[in-house]
Amino acid sequence: MIEYGGATVPAVVERRSLATAIRHGLFGRCPHCGVGRLFKGYLTVADHCSECGEAFHHHRADDAPPYITISIVGHLIVGLMLSVEVAWHPPLWVHTALWVPLTIISALVLLRPVKGAVIGLQWALMMHGFDPNAPKEDE
């Protein structure tokens, strides 16, 4: 906010590229600069970007990344499982030995990039504290 003639008006904010922010998030990079790290652990989001200083502590990814990951993995695994069943009719132990580990591994591999993409989406759309014109939390 900017004080102008006794009135408080919103500051002009640059337009943020949705595709670029999501792409940066997919690769675990800061959605603003694309250089700094978004995560400080496997799924732990850094408080701020080490390169540009963009704050990440107010993101609200919450349940969206697991939900999206489950949807992607579920569609892929079920489609592959049905294809294998129709083509070769393997016994149940083969299905279990093949699909259980593949499901777990693919979910773990996809979860972090999906969470980064959700945070990038929130940043690009100025959601959950990423809007510089929003009132501060302590006000």
* pLDDT the model gives residue 132: 81
What's the pLDDT tens digit per position in 39-88? 999 999 999 999 999 999 989 999 999 999 999 999 999 999 999 999 99
Domain boundaries, the chain: 2-26+59-124
- How does 24-62 read in b/e, with b if 16+ C-beta sit within 10 Å? bbbebbbbbebebebbeeeeebbeebeeeebebeebebe
pLDDT beyond 60 at 1: no
Percent of the chain at pLDDT above 70? 88
Residue 11 pLDDT > 80: no
- Chain mean pLDDT for the chain: 90
Per-residue pLDDT band for 15 (boundaries 50, 70, 90) equals confident
In this structure, of 33-37, 124-128, 133-137, the range with the lowest mean pLDDT score is: 133-137
The reported pLDDT for the residue numbered 13 is 65
